[in-house]
Amino acid sequence: MSNDSSAGPADRRHFSRIAFAGPAQLVTVDQRLPVQVLDLSLKGALLLLPEASDIEAGSLCLLDLPLAPHEGRITMAAQLAHVNGDRAGLLCLGIDIESITHLRRVIELNLGDVALAERDLKALVAPAALA
């Protein structure tokens, strides 16, 4: 693996991120915030926060993302990896089988490449198999 520090964040990502525009709820210990999901991957999401949001990086949360009517929802336990102004990045800590199935399908449809989505899923479960 190269230590090329000129590589941008997208080049260092191990999981494909897809642009996504949809409303969701971000639930923390003391609040429930309406957010917009800007992008998704098998390892997290980028969110647009409402004005004057008072959340901090490192906080544990739950992302609840309803899909189109009768298409289910994606629910993931996460940690706020970073908060920059009105943007927050989530690191997925846990996701149920139904949610990951929906998320995988959304990624497949948006990538247009089942093999790439399959590679992401294998990379996600590989560390667990080594443990």
pLDDT, tens only, 57-99: 999 999 999 998 888 999 999 999 999 999 999 999 999 999 9
Where are the chain's structural domains?
Answer: 13-130
Q: Which residue has the higher pLDDT, 33 or 117?
A: 33
The pLDDT-based confidence of 4 (bands split at 50, 70, 90) is very low
What is the mean predicted confidence (pLDDT) over 17-35? 93
Residue 123 has pLDDT above 60, yes or no: no
For residues 92 and 79, give the distance between their C-alpha atoms in angstroms, rounded to a whole number. Answer: 7
Phi, psi of 117 (to 5 degrees): -65, -40
Q: Residue type at 37? A: V
Q: Report pTM.
A: 0.75
Q: Which residues pair with 47 in a beta bridge?
A: 37, 88
User: Contact at 8 Å (CB) between 127 and 86?
Assistant: no
What is the mean predicted confidence (pLDDT) over 32-46? 94
The pLDDT-based confidence of 23 (bands split at 50, 70, 90) is very high
Closest CA to 24 of 7, 8, 44: 44
User: Contact at 8 Å (CB) between 57 and 83?
Assistant: yes
Closest CA to 22 of 34, 11, 32: 34
Percent over 70 (pLDDT), the chain:
73
User: Contact at 8 Å (CB) between 91 and 44?
Assistant: yes
Percent over 90 (pLDDT), the chain:
51
119 alpha carbon, distance to own chain's centre: 17
- The CATH class for the domain spanning 13-130 reads mainly beta
For residues 125 and 103, give the distance between their C-alpha atoms in angstroms, rounded to a whole number. Answer: 15
Residue 5 has pLDDT above 50, yes or no: no
Length of the chain: 131
Q: Which residues pair with 36 in a beta bridge?
A: 23, 48
